[in-house]
Structure 1
Amino acid sequence: MRQPVIRALWLMAGLLALALGILGAFLPLLPTTPFVILAAACFARSSERLHGWLLSHSVFGPAIRDWQQHRAISRRGKRAALIAMAAVFVLSFVLGVRGWILAAQGAVLLVTGSWIATRPDAPRG
């Protein structure tokens, strides 16, 4: 493939990831930060302007920089993610979601939560 086509594919992937990340801010089972980090990686390969915009964004920028520089997640971010996951599971239980779905959801949340909890803390500052 030609370079412009490859850049366009990276750009489309970045825009899709960013859209999913924005949706994740409002939908309980869709994560925000991983999609925004993915968008930043895609934009780094396709658009310096969009990559710079994400890195300097007041909300998304710090999390992206922490991940890129330290492979770390802030304590506040970890806490928010784990609380949101627990709340979604409790809500599913209260709403009477079928047992097999609760089991699958619980397994996914447990693995994901464990991964998040074991990432290094982002440096303060």
Structure 2
Amino acid sequence: MRLIYLSIGWLAVGIAVLGAFLPILPTVPFLLIALWAFGRSSERLHQKLLNDPVFGPDIKRWQERGAIRRPAKILALSAMLGSVLLAALLGVCPPILAVQALVLASVAVFIATRPES
């Protein structure tokens, strides 16, 4: 089981690293998955994520208060709106566009209602 959790953790870290450079991929949610997986497989890697100078504070805010920084909220909400607008401009089939808009609107409501840190 330990190997499975380690694999999940490293996969999530890899996706998070991509997300740091690609605006369409979120970073912190994948780091939270990695934190969960490393918490079940490697205390050293778990602590390393929590103590990371860049992402550690955001992870701790989420764990302690479910809080998201305002700039991160604005970036996430803007990226979601941009995604729907781009899909519309590219002429995505209306039913698919409607599903995309509904899913992203649901996620946007969740993000917008989280406390700010």
TM-score under structure 2 normalisation? 0.88
What displacement does 1:36 show?
Answer: 1.0
CA distance in 2, matches of 1:27, 1:19: 15
Report the equivalent of 1:15: 10
* Among candidates 19, 22, 25, match of residue 24 of structure 1: 19
1:56: which partner in 2? 51
- 1:112 is aligned to 2:115: no
- Which of 72, 76, 80 is residue 77 of structure 1 equivalent to? 72
| Partner deviation per Cα, 1:17-70 (whole Å, 9 max, x = no partner) | 222222333151x33221111111111221122212211223221111111111
2:32 counterpart residue number:
37
Segments of 5+ residues of structure 1 without an aligned counterpart are 1-5
**How many angstroms apart in 1 are the aligned matches of 2:51 and 2:89?**
40
1:64-122 CA-to-partner distances (Å, cap 9, x unmatched) read: 11111111111111111101111111111111111111101101100001011111112
Aligned length: 116
Q: Does 1:90 align with 2:85?
A: yes
TM-score by length of 1: 0.83
Distance 1:85 1:119 in 2: 16
User: Aligned pair in 2 of structure 1 residues 27, 75: CA closer, same or farther (>3 Å)?
Assistant: closer
Report the Cα distance in structure 2 between the residues aligned to 1:58 and 1:89, rounded to whole angstroms.
33
- Read off the aligned partner of 1:97 and give its amino acid letter: V
